[in-house]
Structure 1
Amino acid sequence: MGLRAWWQDADRAWVTFPTDDARGHLAGERRVAWAHFPTTRNVPNLVRNAFLAWRVLKSFRPEVVVSTGAGVALPFFVLARLVGARTVYIEVYDRVDSATLTGRLCAPFTDLMCVQWPEQRDLYRDALVVGPLL
């Protein structure tokens, strides 16, 4: 929720995993969809999340899809392109020596790749260093 200043005045929808902390942070939000997990190398959940992405993107019609990672990002980024939404990927805070699997998979579908450390800039072509977001 450290990015609150970016999204607090925007019409928004959230897609995340139904963890206790997510439920707590998103209490009171109008549009929340719970993604299927685990996502790591889980093809059935990839398919389920692709259908979820299609439903959310077709009903909400976002201008921008932003992700901070996790396997659920890939179907949303691929399908966001089909509905004309731009995509922003924010690479994780704690990985500075190699790109994450989700980052590598989403990169071809990403309009803006944001990284939190200058060292991460070398991992992604044209990445924007936004600094630590926590």
Structure 2
Amino acid sequence: MSTCTTILVLLSLFFCIRHTRLASANPRPPQTCSIAIFLGSGGHTTEALKLVSALDFGRYSPRTYIVSKGDTFSAQKALALEHIKAADHAFSDDQPQYKLLFIPRARRVHQSLLSTPPDAVKSLLACMRIVAVRPLFKKGAFRQPFVDLLILNGPGTCVILCITIFLNRLIGLPSPRVMYVESFARVKSLSLSGKLLYHFTDRFVVQWPGLVQPGGREIYRGCLV
């Protein structure tokens, strides 16, 4: 082997070893994924928060809890979960890595169908402000969706939220990926929200094998809550 070749080999080994040491001394920070969770009140909120509680809050951050106006139960449950997680894990950042957003209900319980459209329009406009308008004016986040992932579990107002994201995609605005997790209570048939959103979500998860159809797009991973 010539002297020049030997020198080149030694230099290559030197730079490889140096690169490896630098990479070990300065590991890349783990990637984070911002998420939003719609809390649909009552049992839907309980299920949604159980799903979220299983996540690594260091990785899935920041978190946005979308709550219907007047639903103090869901807001309190979300805050309680965040406080528990904060006590269990010492986060280096003093700033809260979560926030609550309130939107009007698309339809109240036992509300007549005739009076529903005005409330649904109010809910749609509020969702459009969150999903489409705010990200456009957020500093340093041009062409970025308001979150990376949106998790839905029902009930009706989540349909309005999903419609807003679908409209975003139609006009080419940045939009989050959407995952719908069917309620644990739905054993043999999909809920009305599930039927409406079946073809409009990126992932459609069911918790009972009886809901999986041959050739369907359902994902079954067992009971999640």
Q: Same fold (TM over 0.5)?
A: yes
Tell whether the 8 Å contact from 1:15 to 1:32 is kept in structure 2 after alignment. yes
> How well do the aligned residues superpose, as a CA RMSD in angstroms?
2.4
CA-to-aligned-CA distance 1:24-73 (integer Å, 9 cap, x gap)? 11237423224324177522222111111111113251222210011111
Q: Distance in 2 between matches of 1:123 and 1:21?
A: 39
CA-to-aligned-CA distance 1:60-95 (integer Å, 9 cap, x gap)? 512222100111111211222314221110111111
Question: Is 1:35 aligned with 2:86?
Answer: no
**Structure 2 match to 1:80:** 165
One-letter code of the match for 1:16? V
Q: Distance in 2 between matches of 1:11 and 1:93?
A: 26
TM-score (norm 1): 0.83
Q: Distance in 2 between matches of 1:26 and 1:120?
A: 29
Tell whether the 8 Å contact from 1:115 to 1:121 is kept in structure 2 after alignment. yes
One-letter code of the match for 1:5? A
How many angstroms does 1:99 deviate by? Answer: 1.5
Larger radius of gyration: 2
Gaps of 5+ in 2: 1-48, 83-97, 136-145, 169-173
Gaps of 5+ in 1: none
3-state SS, counterpart of residue 50 of structure 2 = coil
TM-score (norm 2): 0.53
Give the share of equivalent positions with the same residue, in percent: 19
